[in-house]
Chains A and B, each alone.
Chain A
Amino acid sequence: MIRALEASGRWTREGLESLGFATRAFFNLLRYSPGAFRRPTLITEQIHFIGNYSLVITIVSGLFVGLVLGLQFYVNLIQFGAEEKLGPLTALSLVRELGPVVTALLFAGRAGTSLTAEIGLMKAGEQLTAMEMMAVNPVQRVLAPRFWGGVIAMPVLATVFSAVGIIGSYLVGVKMLGLDEGAFWSQMQAGVDVNRDVLSSVIKSFVFGIAVTFTALFQGYHVKPTPADVARATTRTVVIASLLVLGLDFVMTAMMFGQ
């Protein structure tokens, strides 16, 4: 019994220590960011690797989610004769929630694991230590550009996801199920407010970008120099990043839409 208490106490203390350590690492990353911005080529390279390479999965997923949303909502709305609300319903679902959240989860899986593995392997192969011995700060040269690359790429990806999803629901609603095109768009425009909905989508995806990219980089950087641990670190990235995204989503939704 005492053992269990001891264990939980230790577990809490270690948890807090990890949290503090991670916070310190975060601020360290921010501290060396201005240096990274003086070499914009590094950042654009990372936007390319992180963003462009995630475009295909984002667009395909967005399209499918939009198609499915269109179908699901239509089937239910038609029972109340309210099928004209298909436009605003799908648009709001996408812009407010699904766009930022699903994109973030996909991002954690595709870009997050790739970053963790890359940094982890560099750490295991002593490349980062070699860099330090050559008097180049790896946080500034390697981590910060990847961080800002991810933070910039995420909102772009989420916006593309939402836009493609709306096009998907349009294809289902208007082209496939025969809703009136004009009514579709005008109802949507009446229901979606730029300031409230589109802007909050951008803010959410920005915050998610920070959370996921930082988690990926942190897990990769603090890996033990064995291949087994690099693999474990990528799994940890996906789990922790996904939980963070969902938790932050709740907090932000409550702040932005709760009254």
Chain B
Amino acid sequence: MSNLVEIRDLQFSYGERSILSNLRMDFPRGKLIAVMGGSGCGKTTVLRLIGGQIRPQRGQVRVNGEVVNELNTAGLYRLRRRMGMLFQFGALFTDLTIFDNVAFPLREHTDLPEELIRDLVLMKLNAVGLRNAHRLKPGEISGGMARRVAVARAIALDPELIMYDEPFAGLDPISMGVTANLIRNLNDALGSTSILVSHDVKETFAIADYVYFMSAGKIVAEGTPAELRVSQDPYVKQFVNAEPDGPVPFHYPGKSLSDDLGLGGKR
């Protein structure tokens, strides 16, 4: 099967509020696919559905042919062992050293001897450029470095699917470039599939193979970065060109200015 992950007819609501509706997405193997959109459009929810943290009201999420929302706890844990996830600010275990953080999945899920684990951890840290920092604790390194350690931890078990939740948020331009390169190179080196959730156009377009644009829980556009750069869709145009006003309005909806100031209709 060429698609590692497939989402079909997905409907997810939180109480009465509909977050995602009629979602249809494909994530082919070996590719780096981005899910982009403004804040609150539902892109992080997509990641949570793929990881099985939440269940949809309707529709299916398939990973490797298995329907995620129908798995029991044991099946879900089995599936997650082949996934790696990067959380928005790293979510490293603050009471462990960097070394122990990356070693965590190895120690929990394998019976490998400590010498082998040491070599593996140092290699993973080497891939993200932080091998010499392995004795430090998360509180002693910068946000960008913490993010990279989290990447190393996410790939500790060489997963088939890696998910990145806003990996560029809050980083300086150098760190952003470093992280973007890392994501692309890791994907190709490991032969895995990567799903990238972000709202950073420049970095994401530089590394993604395919992009889904979301707004208010629906897909408004999709295509390769090249296609989207020249797209005439007003939403895509506003986003790609960072225009302040367009389909996503600047003003919070409500009364007009003249009404608020009592100007109109007071004749």
Contacts and interface: CB of A to CB of B under 8 A. Distances in A.
A125 B89 contact: yes
A137 B73 CA distance: 10
Contacts of B105: 134, 136
B141 interface: no
A134 B108 CA distance: 9
Contacts of A137: 77
A134 B91 contact: no
B85 A127 contact: no
Interface string A177-190: 00000000000000
Contacts of B8: none
A125 B143 CA distance: 13
Interface of A: 121-122, 125-127, 129-137, 141
26 contacts: A121-B94, A125-B89, A125-B94, A126-B88, A126-B89, A127-B92, A127-B93, A129-B53, A129-B87, A129-B91, A130-B85, A130-B87, A132-B53, A132-B80, A133-B80, A133-B85, A134-B80, A134-B85, A134-B105, A134-B108, A135-B76, A135-B80, A135-B81, A135-B109, A136-B104, A137-B77
B92 A133 contact: no
B218 to A, nearest CB: 26
B78 interface: yes
A121 B89 CA distance: 14
Nearest to A133: B85
Contact of B78 (A121, A127, A135): A135
Contact of B91 (A125, A135, A136, A141): A125
Bin chain B's interface residue count.
Answer: 20 to 34
A130 B76 CA distance: 14
Interface of B: 51, 53, 76-78, 80-81, 83, 85, 87-89, 91-94, 104-105, 108-109
A132 B94 CA distance: 16
Nearest to B85: A133
A115 to B, nearest CB: 13
Looking at A121, A136, A141, the one whose CB has the most chain B CB atoms below 10 A away is A136
A137 B81 CA distance: 12
A141 B96 CA distance: 14
Given A125-B91, A125-B94, A126-B91, A134 B104 contact: yes
A130 B163 CA distance: 12
A131 B51 CA distance: 12
A133 B94 contact: no
